[in-house]
Amino acid sequence: MSDLKEIFTNWANQLSDLYSEREARNILLLALEDVFEFKRSILLVSREIDLSEEQLERLTQISSRLKTGEPYQYIVGFTYFDDLKIHVAPGVLIPRPETEELVSWIQETVSDQKNLKVEDWCTGSGCIALAIKNRNPHFEVIGYDISEEALEISRFNEKELNLGVGFEINDALEPRNNGRVDVIISNPPYIPWKEKDQMHQNVTEFEPDLALFVPNEDPLLFYRNIAEYAAMNLNDHGYLFFELHEDFGSETKAVLEDLGFSSIEIKEDLQGKNRMLKAEWKVSSNQ
């Protein structure tokens, strides 16, 4: 048997350069749950746990990789998103909690509708597309990305979850028209390159630049191109949803207003940041 308090102390000491004691403790609890399948309820009340030498060595390997700044989710190979187990690797972004908030907002908007056609642009791991399909099995959902590496991961997730989501290569900056659609969603690249130096190394050194950054001189590059595509392809009373850069909400809204979208709403995430946008396309008002 291993002393749990001693394991926590050693783990926190090893990771003190990058993580607070609380953060290190939470990561260790995740590792004990995810890798060794201990129940958190048991971990929180136990003084000792039964770990083999091999398991202790595995913990040491995980902490060694964490010390380099490598994200925990890449080390174990998956994360949870909207109650789905999503495989992740350095070819895709790690899904964030605020993106789950976007999924919940989409669901609030469309849950009473049937047989909608939904497109998720810059799909990455496929987490948004898969979550929408899981919540609405009757929807036709497809995810697009320009990265073959990302599509390999999203297709793996689809194979594991077997939800019936399609994933295809398609460039959001030169989008291929695939007919009329009811909902378009995107969490596109939106961080100007000049902000890279201000970001944590576990993002900048491990997560893909392709999915993160846009030119300093054109931070709305993806929003504008996807919105123009949406204006040409959304059905009457169709919806466009974006995850936003917190500093460019009003500018993104202005782009959509110029294109003829209506009922444009910006919503804060749980951190109080302007993080999500919803807009409606009304054919009658654009004729």
Tens-place pLDDT, residues 110-151 = 988 989 999 999 999 999 999 999 999 999 999 999 999 999
Rounded to two decimals, what is the model's pTM? Answer: 0.92
- Kindly report which listed range (147-151, 201-205, 229-233, 249-253) carries the lowest average pLDDT score: 201-205
Q: Give the highest mean pLDDT range of 33-37, 40-44, 133-137, 216-220.
A: 133-137
Tell me the helices (H) and strands (E) count for the chain, helix number first.
12, 13
The C-alpha angle 42, 44, 46, rounded to 5 degrees, equals: 65
Per-residue pLDDT of 107-118, as tens digits, reads 999 988 989 999
- Residue in 260, 110, 108, 102 with CA at minimum distance from that of residue 188: 102
Q: What is the mean pLDDT of residues 44-66?
A: 86
pLDDT band at 205 (very low <50, low <70, confident <90, very high): confident
* Residue whose pair of structure tokens reads 């991961």 in the numeric block: 153
Q: What is the mean pLDDT of residues 201-205?
A: 76
Decide: helix, strand or coil at residue 169.
strand
Q: What is the mean pLDDT of residues 23-38?
A: 88
In this prediction, residue 18 carries a pLDDT of 86
In this prediction, residue 35 carries a pLDDT of 85
Domains within the chain, CATH numbers bracketed? 2-68 (1.10.8), 91-286 (3.40.50.150)
